[in-house]
C-alpha cells in the first residue's frame, strides 16, 4: 500500500512537539523535515526529537544537500538517527535550493553531485572513502603537522550498526538528476507536480536509466511530492496552493531544464514563474511568484479544491504505483482560518478515503498557530 507522508517546513521549533502529536494522530506514515538552515530550525535536531516523541513515524530529510554538509557528516547523522529510531530513516538529498540560495549559491553541478552520491553511499555502508582534495581546499595540510600516523582514508568506523543501511533517496525533477538517482541511490522522490502524464514520464526516465545500467527494480522505491490544499472554494484553494505550486513548477525550468512532456506555452508559463520567484518568500502564497502562477500552472503543480476533487486526483496518482506520496499539510503565508479548515478537511475527509482500511483519526488536534 502506498504510504502517505507529510513534511515540516518553515515552522519555529516551539511548534514541533505539537506537530509530531498532530502528524501521529492524523496517521501519516512518515515525516520529512526540510534542511534549510536560514529559514528552518536544525533538521537533525528536529528529527531526533521526532524519533523520541513517536515510536511509529518513519523519518527523513527532504532534503539535505551536498554543499552545506560534508558527506561523512550527513552519513553519520543519518546512521545515528537510524540507530536511535530502530530503522525508520530515509535520507533525502538534492542538489540544493533555498539552503544554498541563502549562502549565495545555486545548486551543485551534476558532475560533483554524482561524485558526492557515490561517496555518501560508501559512507552509509561503512566503507573507506578516498580523501577528496576539494574538501580541504581551505584547510592546512595534514602532512605538515608531522604526526606519527594519520588516517589513510575516511570511514565511519562504528558502521555497520545494529540497523540496516539508511536508504538514500534523491529529489529529482529533470532527466539528468532522475538518471543519477535511478543508478546511484535507493529511491527517487519526484518534484514534477501532479499531472499523471508528467509523473509517468519521470517514472519512465528512471526505468530507462536503471535498465541501461543493468539494474532491476528490487529494493528501489519511487515517491512523489504533491502539494494539496483542500477547501470548499476552488478559487481560495488555488490561491493557497499558488506559492507551493510555483516553487515546484520553477524546478522544471531551472538552468534550462528539460521540457519532458510540456508544450511551449506550458514551458513559457513556468519561465515566467521562475523570473518572478522571490526566494526571500520561498514557497509562500501572496508572493510575486504565487501571483505569476496561472490557474493552469497551479492545477499542474498542486491539487487544490473540495475534498472529492482532491481525493479523485490523489487516487489517480496512487494508481501509478508510488511507494510514497508526500503531502505537506500546510501552505506558507496563508490565512490561519483557511489553513485550519484545509488541514481539517485533509485529515478528516481526504486521508481516510485514500486508505479506507486504515482507521480514521480519533480526533483532529487543532493547530491554531499562524501559517
Q: What is the pTM of this model?
A: 0.92
Residue 31 belongs to what domain range? 3-131+157-231+304-354
Q: Does a structural domain hold residue 369?
A: no
Q: What are φ and ψ of residue 24, in 5° steps?
A: -65, -45
CATH label of the domain that carries residue 334: 3.20.20.30
Looking at the domain assignment, is residue 104 inside a domain?
yes
Instruction: List helix spans (H) across 213-335.
Output: 234-251, 264-276, 288-292, 295-301, 307-318
Task: Please report which confidence band the pLDDT of residue 258 belongs to, taking 50, 70 and 90 as the band edges.
Answer: low
In a domain, 73, yes or no: yes
pLDDT for position 356:
63
Domain annotation covers residue 197: yes
Q: Which comes out higher in pLDDT, residue 331 or 130?
A: 130
Average pLDDT value over all residues in the chain: 91
User: What local confidence, expressed as pLDDT, does residue 360 receive?
Assistant: 42
Within a domain: 288: no
H and E: helices and strands count for the chain: 14, 10
pLDDT for 357 equals 40
Q: Is 143 a domain residue?
A: no
**What confidence score (pLDDT) does residue 141 get?**
86
pLDDT, residue 365, reads 45
Model confidence at 347, pLDDT cuts 50, 70, 90, reads: very high
Among 103-107, 140-144, 361-365, the minimum mean pLDDT is found in 361-365
Read off the pLDDT of each residue in 118-146 and give the average, rounded to a whole number: 89
Is a pLDDT exceeding 70 seen at residue 68? Answer: yes
- Count structural domains, the chain: 1
The residue ranking higher by pLDDT, 370 or 312, is: 312
**Region of residue 339 (phi > 0: left; psi between -120 and 50: alpha; otherwise: beta):** alpha
Q: pLDDT tens digits for 279-325? A: 999 988 889 999 999 999 999 999 999 999 999 999 999 999 999 99
Give residue 37's pLDDT band: very low, low, confident or very high (50, 70, 90).
very high
Mean pLDDT of 172-179: 95
Q: Quick one: cell of 135?
A: 574538501
Residue 168: closest CA among 70, 251, 71, 83 = 71
**Measured distance CA(199)–CA(222) in Å, rounded:** 11
Mean pLDDT across 5-19: 87
149 phi/psi in degrees, rounded to 5: -150, 140
Specify if 81 maps to a domain: yes
Q: What is the tens place of the pLDDT at every residue in 104-125?
A: 999 999 999 999 999 999 999 9
How large a percentage of the chain has pLDDT more than 70? 94
pLDDT of residue 259: 67
Q: Which of 8-17, 50-59, 236-245 has the lowest mean pLDDT?
A: 8-17
Residue 296 located in a structural domain: no
The whole-number pLDDT of residue 12 equals 82
Closest CA to 154 of 183, 125, 180, 181: 125
- In tens, the pLDDT along 122-131 reads 999 999 999 9
- Contacts of residue 261, defined as CB under 8 A and 6 or more positions apart, other chains included, come to 195, 197, 198, 201
* E strand spans, the chain: 3-8, 30-33, 58-64, 89-93, 168-172, 187-190, 221-225, 228-230, 303-305, 324-326
Amino acid at each position: 500500500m502506498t504510504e502517505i507522508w507529510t513534511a515540516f517546513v518553515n515552522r519555529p521549533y516551539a511548534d514541533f512537539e505539537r506537530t509530531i502529536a498532530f502528524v501521529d494522530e492524523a496517521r501519516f506514515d512518515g515525516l520529512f523535515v526540510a534542511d534549510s538552515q536560514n529559514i528552518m530550525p536544525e533538521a537533525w535536531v528536529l528529527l531526533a526529537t521526532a524519533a523520541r516523541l513517536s515510536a511509529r513515524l518513519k523519518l527523513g530529510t527532504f532534503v539535505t544537500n551536498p554543499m552545506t554538509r560534508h558527506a561523512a557528516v550527513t552519513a553519520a547523522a543519518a546512521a545515528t538517527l537510524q540507530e536511535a529510531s530502530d530503522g525508520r530513516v530515509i535520507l533525502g538529498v538534492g542538489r540544493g535550493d533555498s539552503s544554498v540560495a541563502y549562502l549565495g549559491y545555486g545548486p551543485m553541478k551534476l558532475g560533483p553531485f554524482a561524485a558526492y552520491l557515490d561517496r555518501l553511499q560508501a559512507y552509509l555502508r561503512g566503507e573507506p572513502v578516498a580523501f577528496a582534495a576539494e574538501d580541504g581546499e581551505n584547510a592546512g595540510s595534514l602532512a605538515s603537522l608531522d604526526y606519527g600516523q594519520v588516517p589513510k582514508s575516511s570511514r565511519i568506523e562504528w558502521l555497520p550498526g545494529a540497523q540496516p543501511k539508511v536508504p538514500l533517496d534523491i529529489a529529482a525533477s529533470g532527466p539528468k538528476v532522475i538518471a543519477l538517482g535511478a543508478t546511484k541511490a535507493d529511491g527517487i522522490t519526484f518534484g514534477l507536480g501532479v499531472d499523471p502524464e508528467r509523473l509517468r514520464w519521470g517514472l519512465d526516465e528512471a526505468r530507462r536509466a536503471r535498465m541501461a545500467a543493468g539494474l532491476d527494480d528490487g529494493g528501489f522505491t519511487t515517491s512523489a511530492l504533491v502539494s494539496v490544499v483542500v477547501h470548499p472554494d476552488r478559487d481560495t484553494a488555488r490561491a493557497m496552493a499558488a506559492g507551493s505550486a510555483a516553487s515546484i513548477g520553477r524546478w522544471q525550468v531551472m538552468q534550462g531544464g528539460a521540457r519532458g512532456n510540456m508544450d511551449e506555452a506550458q514551458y513559457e508559463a513556468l519561465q515566467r514563474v521562475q523570473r518572478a520567484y522571490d526566494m526571500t518568500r520561498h514557497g509562500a502564497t501572496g508572493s510575486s511568484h504565487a501571483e505569476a502562477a496561472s490557474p493552469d500552472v497551479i492545477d499542474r503543480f498542486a491539487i487544490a479544491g473540495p475534498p472529492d476533487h482532491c481525493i479523485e486526483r490523489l487516487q489517480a496518482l496512487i494508481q501509478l504505483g508510488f511507494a510514497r506520496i508526500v503531502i505537506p499539510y500546510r501552505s506558507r503565508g496563508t490565512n490561519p482560518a483557511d489553513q485550519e479548515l484545509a488541514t481539517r478537511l485533509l485529515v478528516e475527509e481526504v486521508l481516510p478515503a485514500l486508505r479506507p482500511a486504515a482507521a480514521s483519526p480519533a480526533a483532529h488536534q487543532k493547530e491554531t498557530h499562524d501559517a
